Amino acid sequence: MSQRVPSTSSIYAFSPDNPPVLTVPDGAVVEIDTCDCFDDQLRTEADTLETLDWEKINPATGPIYIEGVRVGGVLKVTIESITVGSQGVVATGKGLGVLGDRFEGMRRRYIPFVDGNAVWDDKVSLPLRPMIGVIGVAPASGAIGCGTPGAHGGNMDNKLIGAGTTLYLPVFADGGLFACGDLHAVMGDGEVCVAGAETPGTVRVRFDFLPDLTLTNPVLETEDGFYAIASAGTLDDAVTMAVGDMADLLVARLPMELADVVMLMSLSGNAQICQVVDPLKTARYGMSKSVLAAYGFEL
């Protein structure tokens, strides 16, 4: 039987000093209710970006302490399901997103969800692909705002982090102190306007501690592939980090030297953008399971 954490139990920064709102054993399944990235402040036509409390942005529900999780290992987070609300909100404006210098003022738009689709207008509807924008564990020290990604996870805005995927997070504080939020019902790579279809919802996850696995940055496993995820001050540096992390994983597990691994990566892998609008940019580098299975690859 799973336990549930309400969206009222939220943080605005990942930190080892945050007191846990729930303690669970290794192997536990937990349901986590989340607010949207605007802390559910935009609900009706009367609510505007100008009236927002900007101190309450990107809340993450938690943190959750997982017994037995220790520094140096990896927290395996299996995302069993994601449910979203009945509508989303997308926004942009002056200083926001890639083209924020072209705007004066702020603009937001509500998007109803109907029959599994996000209805943009009477001509265009987009299939819902719920994902988790903010998901991570506490850093070793200090506090990292929920709007910033990093080795701990955080605001990676990786559209592949959805139901049926598994996220592997390096552990920097005992218990992990896991939290998540900022659900998007649908979002394109880059999140260029600074938002997806932001929505509240519920995430169901399972926690498993892997004491013998060591990672520098998060790794994602989907049905079809493995992805190294990295965040840095520039997109160039983020891509370089993600490629390097994947190369290190493969060299340690495949019967190949680095040069052959990198050539195989160049032929069959893909460097992809997660987001380019946060304080750090996030990229991922993916390798297909169909290629890796030939060598018995496992994390």
**pLDDT tens digits, residue range 151-177?**
999 999 999 999 999 999 999 999 999
Q: Where in the chain is the domain with CATH 3.10.28.20?
A: 219-295
Q: Which CATH number, 3.40.50.620, 3.40.50.460, 3.10.28.20, 3.40.1440.60, labels domain 219-295?
A: 3.10.28.20
Q: Which fold has domain 3-210?
A: Jelly Rolls (2.60.120)
End-to-end CA distance of the chain: 28
Confidence of residue 4 (pLDDT cuts 50, 70, 90): very high
Predicted local distance difference test score (pLDDT) of residue 125: 98
Q: Whose CA is closest to 251, among 287, 205, 217?
A: 287
State whether residue 207 is helix, strand or coil.
strand
Please give the mean pLDDT across all residues of the chain: 97
Confidence of residue 120 (pLDDT cuts 50, 70, 90): very high
Q: Is the pLDDT of residue 49 over 90?
A: no
Please compute the mean of the pLDDT values over residues 81-110 and round it to a whole number: 96
DSSP 68-128: T--TTSEEEEEEEEEEE-SEEEEEEETT-STTGGG-SSEEEEEEEEETTEEE-SSS-EEE-
Buried b (16+ CB within 10 A) or exposed e, 24-56: beeebebbbbbbbbbbbbbeeeebebeebeeee
Please compute the mean of the pLDDT values over residues 82-98 and round it to a whole number: 96
Please compute the mean of the pLDDT values over residues 282-289 and round it to a whole number: 98
Q: Is the pLDDT of residue 45 over 90?
A: no
Confidence of residue 243 (pLDDT cuts 50, 70, 90): very high
Predicted local distance difference test score (pLDDT) of residue 66: 98
Q: Where in the chain is the domain with CATH 2.60.120.580?
A: 3-210
The 3 state secondary structure assigned to 176-189 is EEEEEEEEECCCCC
DSSP state of 222: -
Predicted local distance difference test score (pLDDT) of residue 51: 84
Q: Which residue has the tokens 């506090």?
A: 143
Please compute the mean of the pLDDT values over residues 64-77 and round it to a whole number: 98
Q: Is the pLDDT of residue 282 over 80?
A: yes
Q: Is the pLDDT of residue 287 over 90?
A: yes
178, HSE (Cβ side, Cα atoms, 13 Å): 35
Confidence of residue 55 (pLDDT cuts 50, 70, 90): confident
Predicted local distance difference test score (pLDDT) of residue 2: 79
DSSP 1-63: --EEE-TTSEESEE-TTSPPSEEE-TT-EEEEEE--TTTT---STT--GGG--TTS-S-EEEE
- 74 within 8 A of 172, measured Cβ to Cβ: no
Please compute the mean of the pLDDT values over residues 47-56 and round it to a whole number: 86
Q: Is the pLDDT of residue 17 over 80?
A: yes
Predicted local distance difference test score (pLDDT) of residue 52: 85
Q: Is the pLDDT of residue 1 over 80?
A: no
Tokens of 280: 């750090």
Amino acid at site 23: T
Please compute the mean of the pLDDT values over residues 74-101 and round it to a whole number: 97
Please compute the mean of the pLDDT values over residues 138-146 and round it to a whole number: 98
Q: Is the pLDDT of residue 80 over 90?
A: yes
- 252 within 8 A of 238, measured Cβ to Cβ: no
Predicted local distance difference test score (pLDDT) of residue 50: 85
Alpha-carbon distance of 147 to 151, in angstroms, equals 14
User: In the chain, pLDDT over 70 holds for what percent of residues?
Assistant: 100
